[in-house]
Homo-oligomer: A and B are copies of this chain.
Amino acid sequence: MKEFMIALQSGKTPLYEQIYQAIKRDIEDGKIPYGEKLPSTRLLAVNLNVSRFTVELAYEQLVSEGYIQARAGSGFFVCDLSNLFSGITGGEQLGIAVSQAVDQQPDIRIDFSPFAIDAVHFPYKVWKKRNREVMDENTDILTAREAAGDRGLRETIATYLYRARGVHCAPDQILIGAGNEYLLLLLIQMLGGGCSVLMENPTYMQAYEVFRHAGCQVNLGAVDEEGLLLSALDASLAEVVYVMPSHQFPMGTVMPLMRRQELLEWAAAAEGRYIIEDDHDSEFRYVGKPIPSLQSRDQNDCVIYFGTFSKSISPALRMSYMVLPRHLSERFHREYDFYSSTVPTGQQLAVQRFMESGDFERHLNRMRRVYKAKHDFLLKELKKRSWVRCIRGENAGLHLVVEVSGCRSEAELLAAALERGVRVYGMSDYRIVCGMREEPVTLLLGFGGLSEQELTEGLAVLDDLLTGEKEDG
């Protein structure tokens, strides 16, 4: 019984745990060998002057972790742990590397990100109010919602999409998810995995990466000032086309009605063809009315419509939705609704209140004015510049496309600007390289997150870089 004279200490650690730890240590160290019978719980309790229950608890723990085993009627025996602890370092030595070298980021004063939104005019008060209301409902926020998203929110989105974008759909056709990439992953599964996709080039790179990593064959089609050249469709044998007809990213072009119709006809001409319409920033159009969605003209259930709250509310919300053709939404509800919803209940309910109360529409109207002012200001300023060759993609969205002269390469310009604390984005980042054709240096200048003051400062840095270079070259 010597091995079991455990020195118990009064204090924070429960007695049963001290016993468990001591025996465990002795087993690991080989002090109590394989097959050895442990003293009965009664005997050990008497020896250690503790309750029998305390010893039972310790033994139970050792049993559940596999150190000892109970043999009915004959007591507890040490398990065979040969070779178990040979190579094992103590957990304490491995420790935990909490502090990691954070990526060295240059200090960026001005970021022309095309994805940034205005944080100054965000309706914090109203947003907080809607969230507070939802949290005050208490138990409702603890219940997970339907796989496709909360039904009430889907109804609200369906109504909104019909009024704002001419999209025809029942709430059952809507699938709310944690961002476009997740929804694309689901969609690719529903379409049967590695399908053949045609994308515009340049395009939205995250979607391109999702397709590629999901095993799809991605074909690229050139764009002109009316969007995707449809000749690429026949050449590619693609089954799925991914387009942004209302405001192509990054080019900013609008696909005219005629080409839209041709695209729809292509899809209708064969079974299993789909058009993915990414309507990412249709809310912000500064001249004329919004252009109706491609989905609104679809008579053959072949358009899959993608929308997002990333620009209309915030990218931090991680909330998008897709509108499936009826047969695909039925397939989702039949085969795929084992996928739990990816959006927190509380947030779904808050967004629904935000939309139904009219807050959303008021917010969009205000932001349209705010962004239009920034857009007009940047446009006016750019037009004064000698280094601006041409400007594209104006009148909508949150960025302008600017072809510039005065520097040898985009990469050089981006790096030089970054060194001055200004981050600008080059078209090459969104162009999937296909040939060796020399492309003109083209910048994407996002204005959503910048004030007039910041836009001015950022342009001044570009002035320096581009007119300086010019004099050299």
Contacts and interface: CB of A to CB of B under 8 A. Distances in A.
A319 B341 CA distance: 11
Contacts of A299: 87-89
B254 A64 contact: yes
Nearest to A287: B60
A297 B261 CA distance: 61
Nearest to A169: B96
B98 A159 contact: yes
A66 B144 contact: no
28 contacts: A57-B288, A65-B254, A65-B291, A66-B226, A67-B257, A79-B256, A81-B258, A88-B297, A91-B166, A97-B170, A98-B155, A98-B170, A117-B142, A119-B138, A124-B135, A128-B136, A131-B131, A143-B316, A178-B178, A179-B342, A182-B182, A182-B342, A185-B185, A189-B214, A213-B336, A316-B344, A316-B346, A344-B344
Interface string A4-48: 000000000000110010000000000000000000000000000
Nearest to A300: B87
Interface of A: 16-17, 20, 57-58, 60-61, 63-67, 69, 79-81, 84, 87-89, 91, 94-98, 100, 102, 117, 119, 122, 124, 127-128, 131-132, 135-136, 138-139, 141-145, 151, 155, 158-159, 162, 166, 168-172, 178-179, 181-182, 185, 189, 193, 205-206, 209-210, 213-215, 226, 254-261, 287-289, 291-292, 296-297, 299, 314-319, 336, 338-347
A30 B142 CA distance: 57
Contact of A318 (B97, B117, B166, B343): B343
Nearest to A28: B257
Contact of A258 (B66, B287, B319): B66
Nearest to A101: B172
A97 B64 CA distance: 56
A91 B223 CA distance: 29
Contacts of A342: 178-179, 182, 318, 342
B179 A340 contact: yes
A317 B344 contact: yes
Contacts of A66: 226, 255-260
Contact of A91 (B57, B168, B182): B168
Nearest to A189: B213
Contacts of A254: 64-65
Query: Considering the complex of A and B, which 4 residue pairs feature the smallest CB-CB distances, nearest first?
Result: A66-B256, A66-B257, A178-B342, A316-B345
A287 B259 CA distance: 69
Contacts of A124: 135, 138
A80 B258 CA distance: 8
Contacts of A16: 288
A288 B20 contact: yes
A336 B213 CA distance: 9
Contact of A178 (B166, B169, B182, B297): B182
Given A66-B258, A98-B170, A340-B206, A139 B119 contact: yes
A79 B258 contact: yes
Given A66-B259, A336-B213, A57 B131 contact: no
Nearest to A155: B98
Contact of A96 (B159, B257, B261): B159
Contact of A79 (B58, B63, B257): B257
Contact of A144 (B155, B289, B315): B315
Contacts of A291: 64-65
Contacts of A139: 119, 122
A182 B60 CA distance: 36
A310 to B, nearest CB: 8
A255 to B, nearest CB: 8
Given A254-B64, A344-B317, A171 B100 contact: yes
Residue of A151, A172, A340 with most partner-chain B CB within 10 A: A340
A176 to B, nearest CB: 11
Given A135-B128, A158-B98, A182-B342, A84 B258 contact: yes
Nearest to A214: B189
A392 to B, nearest CB: 13
Nearest to A94: B168
Contacts of A296: 91
Given A66-B258, A122-B142, A182-B342, 17 more contacts: A17-B289, A57-B288, A66-B226, A79-B258, A96-B168, A98-B171, A124-B135, A127-B135, A142-B316, A144-B318, A181-B338, A206-B338, A206-B340, A316-B345, A316-B346, A342-B342, A344-B344
